[in-house]
Chains A and B, each alone.
Chain A
Amino acid sequence: MSDSKAIFLKDAAVNAADGDQRAFIRKALGGYYTNRDLQKARYRDWERARDAASLAKWSAVNDLANVLEKFTANFERNGGVVHWARDAAEARAIILKIAEDAKAKAIVKSKCMTSEEIHLNDALEKAGYGVVESDLGEFIQQLRGEAPYHFVFPCMHVKREAISELFTKHLGTAPTDSPEELTMIARRHLRQLYVDADIGITGANFLVAETGQISITENEGNARLTAALPRIHIALSGIEKVVNKLDDLSVLLPMLATAGAGQPMTCYNTLYSGPRKKGECDGPEEFHIVLLDNARTRLLADPEQRDALHCIRCGACLNVCPIFKNIGGLAYGTTYQGPIGSVITPHLRGLKQWNHLSGASSLCGACTDACPVRIDLHHHLLHNRRNAAKESPTLFDRVFHHGFNFVIKRPWLFATGGRIFRATLPLLQKLPLPYMGAGMKTRDLPKAPSQSFRDQWKHQNV
């Protein structure tokens, strides 16, 4: 058993047994469901809008080389600098070099899951830079020293009392149980940090090939400030975030907001093309983009699951997933939690160590229904299971499959086996069956039928 699997099974069991926490998560998501449905109802045809969003992403991902070439040419024409990183280490080295060249001291970041993926904060802090997460949820998680619980709602599992205690401990503020006051504490604390920072690091939700702009979606205004006040702006993005046309955003931006947060649009959807232009009064002097592969091309090479690269990171699949709601986001041990994380992590980090996530699903398909870009999520979990069994079958896989193969090709053996099983089933029901796994703790074996299906079929004389 891989380490990641052992940790997953332990955490999942503990969290699923924590009824209070589960109720808290369900309550937190309650408002989301209401708002999402209200906003979806404003679409004249949500299902067909999903087709359009899916096609916009398909067109870019399936022509990725050309679209990326176009994007980078236009990005450079706008005065930006393009960097390429094959993996996490290269991306970290590029950003450290920019910070070193700039003789930077303070760095402010807005929410960027790709930076979590490459463990950027650790690298920057080890190199001696002060790094502050400015998104409220990320700021709270940074103070807690914990990874995000949900890639859109990073601290949705933390109760206000705990946040109040955290702020008292780190910021010296008076305790309060008002979410508004807690938000204002963070607001006051961070404002001067934007003004003082030398470098602002953001992610990117979309890279627009046609215009060389990057699009950033947020609600708080922290990304706006991060890209406005520091001297240098660095955006870190996966190579799959590209779209062909500016016009594609007319579908993708509203659908991202509606699926992800139940909003018509998020508060700020901002397009950046280059550093401060001549005649503009503010904005950074330098604008860099770091384009990261980090095994995305491995996923691209699988045409069956290539659509997983269409993901716009809205988080809708997490919000509806019965597994996510029961085991929570931290148990996954991945940068991307929930169904999309379970699909892509085995590609990004290795199927052998991460195939257990393919089982973190009831195969109910709620994720696939929720996805605004129609990623076939629950089938991809099945595809990963199949691929894992093919790639590195476990002893059980081999014995069971060979055995099954042997028996099923010999009808007399199958029938005899069935008779023996039916006869011994009452006995089996009396035995403790720990080797049957967790499922047997809460379920009984069914009663054996008196006849096999084949006999029943024969006697009906159909």
Chain B
Amino acid sequence: MSDARSDIFARIREALKVKAPKPHLKTDANPGKTSEVAKPWLPDGGETADASLAILSEQLAKLKAVLIRVPDQAAAVKAVAELASSKNWKKVAYHGHDLLRPVASGLSCETWEADATFDKQRLEGCDAGITTCESIVAQLGAILVSSATSGGRALSVLPHVHVVVAEASQVVPDLGSALALAKARHGDQMPSMLSFITGPSRTGDIERILVLGAHGPKELYLVLVG
């Protein structure tokens, strides 16, 4: 008996002997690159940095994510500290990153560099997780985190609140740009997880009524520096 793999491949090759007509595409763009072809048809991500920031801000508001814009690093530290005390966080986990260590030091509650000594049970007991990100997609209000830049896989999803601290220069216009940037940065050594986070976790499973915080964070804050 032949193995399943060769059987399936034989079936596929046999099936594809008869061709199916190709869908018609009215465009002059390079047909090899989907994002380039579809760019003028997809939602706008802004042509300039300012336009992108304006779209991002509108998208995040619609998603019920909170955008906090600050001029510099010191102001970011202050903004997160204020958030922590107003929300009464007791335990905060953060990703060990130069941008985040001063933020953690600025908090008066218990803080823990989660990726230095990872413990899933301890992470489950944290009120908030603070991470950096790879990039931010203005077009969709999506924040791209990865296991490399956000303290692994669970830190950005297990705690009840997720805070992302990022530079304004990390905002890209659209999804195609974010994917291209990730590929350029990591090549064939992609982090084991790349995740686009578009607003706080949500569900509509009960009577199609929107509820935030299904399994992931109920609140999402983006602190944008610069």
Contact = CB atoms under 8 A, between A and B. Distances in A.
B177 to A, nearest CB: 8
B197 A281 contact: no
Contact of A84 (B4, B180, B209): B4
Interface string B204-219: 1111111101111100
B147 A280 contact: yes
Interface string A170-203: 0000000001101110110011100100000000
B133 to A, nearest CB: 14
A83 to B, nearest CB: 8
Interface in B14-68: 14-16, 18-20, 22-27, 33-35, 37-38, 40-44, 59, 62-63
A293 B9 CA distance: 10
A124 interface: no
Contact of B208 (A28, A229, A247, A306): A28
A287 B192 CA distance: 10
Interface string B165-205: 00000000011100110010000101111111111111111
Given A54-B23, A55-B22, A267 B200 contact: yes
Nearest to A40: B43
A253 B197 CA distance: 12
B225 interface: no
Nearest to A138: B205
Contacts of B33: 245, 247
A270 B4 contact: no
Interface stretch (B70-78, B101-109, B118-126): B118-126
Contact of B38 (A49, A65, A280): A49
Contacts of B79: none
Given A265-B196, A267-B216, A300-B16, A211 B190 contact: yes
B202 A267 contact: yes
Contacts of B180: 247
Contacts, number: 309
A137 interface: yes
A69 B8 CA distance: 11
B154 interface: yes
Nearest to B176: A250
Contacts of B41: 43-46, 48-49, 52
B97 to A, nearest CB: 13
23 contacts: A28-B207, A43-B43, A48-B26, A58-B23, A77-B188, A140-B205, A213-B194, A219-B201, A220-B215, A222-B216, A228-B157, A253-B196, A269-B195, A270-B194, A271-B190, A277-B191, A281-B115, A282-B115, A283-B152, A283-B192, A297-B8, A297-B12, A306-B20
Interface of A: 28-29, 31-32, 42-46, 48-49, 51-56, 58, 62-65, 68-69, 77-78, 84-86, 90, 134-137, 140, 153-156, 158-160, 163, 179-180, 182-184, 186-187, 190-192, 195, 211, 213, 219-222, 224-225, 227-229, 239, 245-251, 253-254, 261, 263-277, 279-283, 287, 291, 293, 297-298, 300-301, 303-304, 306-307, 374
Given A219-B204, A253-B175, A264-B198, 14 more contacts: A29-B208, A56-B34, A65-B9, A136-B214, A137-B205, A160-B207, A183-B203, A225-B157, A250-B42, A265-B196, A269-B196, A293-B8, A297-B12, A303-B20
